[in-house]
Amino acid sequence: MSETALERQAETDRKAIVNAYRGLVRASYPHTHKAERRDIRRAFEYALEAHEGARRKSGEPYILHPIAVAKIVAKEIGLGATSIICALMHDVVEDTFVELSDITREFGKEVATIIDGLTKISGVFDHKSSAQAENFRKMLLTLSDDLRVILIKLADRLHNMRTLEFMKRESQLKIASETIYLYAPLANRLGLQSIKSELEDLSLRYMNPGMFQEIDHKLQKFQKESRYYIQKFTKNVRDQLKAAGLKFHILQRYKSIYSIYSKMMRQDIHFEEVYDLFAIRIILDTSVENEKLECLRVFSILTEHYKYNPERYRDWLTLPKANGYEALHVTVMGPRGRWIECQIRSERMDRVAERGVAAHWKYKESGQLHEGNFVKWLGRIRDLLENPSLNAIEVVKEFKTNLVTDEIFAFTPKGDLVRLPQNSTVLDFAYEIHTNIGHQCIGAKVNNKVVPLKYTLQNGDQVEIINSKKQKPKEEWLQYARTSKAKNRIKEHIRKQRREVIQNGRKIFDWKIRNYEFDTNTITRELLAFFNLPNESEFFFLLGSHKLDNAKLGEFIDLKKEGHKIPVQGGRLQRKRLASRAEFESWLQRHKGVDSDALMIGQDMEVSDYQFAACCQPIKGDDIIGIFNPNQGVEIHRVNCKTAVRLMSNFGRNILKAKWTELHSITFLAGIKIHGTDRQGMMGDLIKVMSSKMKLNIRSITIDSPDEMFEGVFKVFVKSTDELQELKRRLKAVPGVLGVSRLQEIEENQS
Ligand code: MN
């Protein structure tokens, strides 16, 4: 650059910095007094000097990042001067010549301790693959000392997510998956609603851009189309509440893109089927003594004018959520039969809902927390961290499944309290009590009503498990279990059963060929090619469970008896573990495409040393990625697989782009969910489509037919997503079938 260009650049930078800093000062005004604002200015100047000359990936001066983080801390979390000062200097010790002792001298012990915590979190980055998990564990350690560290860290993460577009694709995926896996749930657990929501939306934008755009577009269209309707409904409610003499204001809320997305995934529905895209929030201006009573009054006024749905009534006044959330949610039917959710809460409850832990917390006096719920929660985190038998990855997993999710409380018939993650079912409750009670569960009485084992429990339910000695855990239960405890117990049991079936299959096979001298080295490969199956345990499993075509097996044995050679093309996936990073790097070089840096899947299958992940079972044609996991080698996952998201957040450096190449005789296991109205011969018709018409091997069938309805999960082997599409198309054409969809996850991964 020429001298004048440099000067111009310096002038632009200076203006941007001054503007950003003014914005911060405005945001911190309500929470600070004059002397504190002098300290904030001092911290700003200190950081400005330390980061002098440094730039972010976007090209802008580095200092704009800490200013933005400090502004989030002040404006969106509502913290005071100490936190703002620490946010301004959060990267100073890590990235510049400044040392912690300098900070102590200039700003005192309290600020230095928080910055030390922030530095420790991101400071260490060794070459172990679990570095991310290790970092996260460190963050939890600092969390139990001073919660401000984690709140500033969340602000830092939020700003990094807002500026993620400047990063490489692999880094985007890594950072976005960490965010969705750990930071967003953490924000939720701390009660920071809007930050949680924004983190989720931003993650989705980078992890699944197509889906994000689609939902965003449809939501905007919906907002345009429904504006008049919503205004009218809101006006009516306002008039009704005013007539009762209440003081309040009403906000209109649209569901976030990520919430819509996860509802679509969870319930396997289209955007158009999400009924609660819109809600109104009624916020009452009232005293703490009267707030509950007034919320209930609003409820009674609403239900006087509108029909309401008792199944969608949520009372978080009596039993607040674990993150402190209090409100009354009621869904009423507006004009033209449209359901509208109304969230009723007081100003105080609203503050708690938006600011969460920060609303309770006397952050100005000390880093200590006095709010009972959070204190207990921090205690449980401390227990987890002090458990010597868990490694970093296990700590993170445990934290994720049991400490960071919303919780509900259910009761035994005797009134003992059982704590469960939100969306837990009767089955989870049963396993929580005892493994055998889980294994033999056939249903329960919830509040004296008989319900099936997949019934989702609500806060405050009283649950009496119904057992039967004849009951055994089934594969489909994995879809109903929510807690890791229940899932692990069910999986252990199923694995044991499957092993027995495979052994039985082997025995049958050995017996069938006992009189011939076949070459045992080649026969399995020939078998797999002949039956079009991916591996031998699958073959023996089908044989052992009497699902293999016996006539075809006879045909095979006849061919072999007559000395025929059966053509083998690839077919067998042999897994070789890549133990070290170096081995992995050299392996990767060999498997990359000639003109792309993606891992080519399907090349050289005979000696392939990657495996398809058991959880999401990719099929040729799926959008996939590879993840190198030192314990498991390279695993190929579908991009939207939940386990992959978890792995990416633990092994961020090991994400590999992957592409399909031509495959030969490999088939893939796909799970298909079918629902419809039940009728005579339905099963037979479905099986006919799969086996006689399309000639697919079926691995398993599970059927549930409550009332007149029919719900089944079929696991079949297909060659590609094209073949799967064809299968779905044909199944949909069967009379009585209402919906056919592919399962997102077949079984959860063990790792
Ligand atoms: Mn930072």
Give me the DSSP letters along 372-408: HHHHHHHHHHHHHHH-TT--HHHHHHHIIIIISS-EE
Give this prediction's pTM.
Answer: 0.67
Has residue 627 got a pLDDT over 70? yes
Q: What percent of the chain has pLDDT over 90?
A: 32
Q: What pLDDT was estimated at residue 750?
A: 32
Q: What pLDDT was estimated at residue 592?
A: 66
* Confidence band for 190, pLDDT divided at 50, 70 and 90: confident
Q: What percent of the chain has pLDDT over 70?
A: 85
Terminal-to-terminal C-alpha distance of the chain:
52
Task: Give the count of beta carbons closer than 10 Å to the beta carbon of residue 165.
Answer: 10
Ligand 1 centroid, distance to 408 Cα (angstroms): 35
Q: If we measure between CA atoms, which residue out of 275, 184, 267, 256 comes closest to residue 215?
A: 256
Q: What is the pLDDT of residues 307-318, one digit of tens each?
A: 998 888 888 888
Q: Return phi, psi of residue 365, to 5°.
A: -80, -50
CA distance 72 to 152: 9
The DSSP secondary structure of 331-374, one letter per residue, reads: EEE-GGG-EEEEEEEEHHHHHHHHHTHHHH--TTT-S----HHH
Ligand 1 centroid, distance to 91 Cα (angstroms): 6
Has residue 354 got a pLDDT over 70? yes
Q: What pLDDT was estimated at residue 606?
A: 42
Task: Give the count of beta carbons closer than 10 Å to the beta carbon of residue 428.
Answer: 26
Ligand 1 centroid, distance to 156 Cα (angstroms): 5
CA distance 427 to 479: 11
Has residue 140 got a pLDDT over 90? no
Ligand 1 centroid, distance to 386 Cα (angstroms): 28
Q: Backbone dihedral region of 666: left (phi > 0), alpha (psi from -120 to 50 degrees) or beta?
A: beta
Ligand 1 centroid, distance to 118 Cα (angstroms): 9
More confident residue, 726 or 710: 726
CA distance 118 to 71: 17
Q: What is the pLDDT of residues 566-575, one digit of tens each?
A: 766 543 444 4
Q: What is the mean pLDDT of residues 331-354?
A: 90
User: In 244-290, which ranges are continuous DSSP H helix?
Assistant: 257-267
Q: What pLDDT was estimated at residue 632?
A: 62
Distance set, CA 555 to CA 494, 551, 564 (Å): 32, 6, 11
Ligand 1 centroid, distance to 361 Cα (angstroms): 24
Q: What is the pLDDT of residues 366-403, one digit of tens each?
A: 444 445 666 677 777 777 777 766 777 777 777 777 67
Ligand 1 centroid, distance to 103 Cα (angstroms): 17
- The rounded mean pLDDT for the chain is 83
Q: What is the DSSP letter of 127?
A: S
Ligand 1 centroid, distance to 110 Cα (angstroms): 19
HSE, CB side, 13 Å, CA atoms: give it for residue 220.
5
Ligand 1 centroid, distance to 187 Cα (angstroms): 17
* Confidence band for 363, pLDDT divided at 50, 70 and 90: very low
Q: What pLDDT was estimated at residue 142?
A: 67
Ligand 1 centroid, distance to 87 Cα (angstroms): 8
Has residue 516 got a pLDDT over 90? no
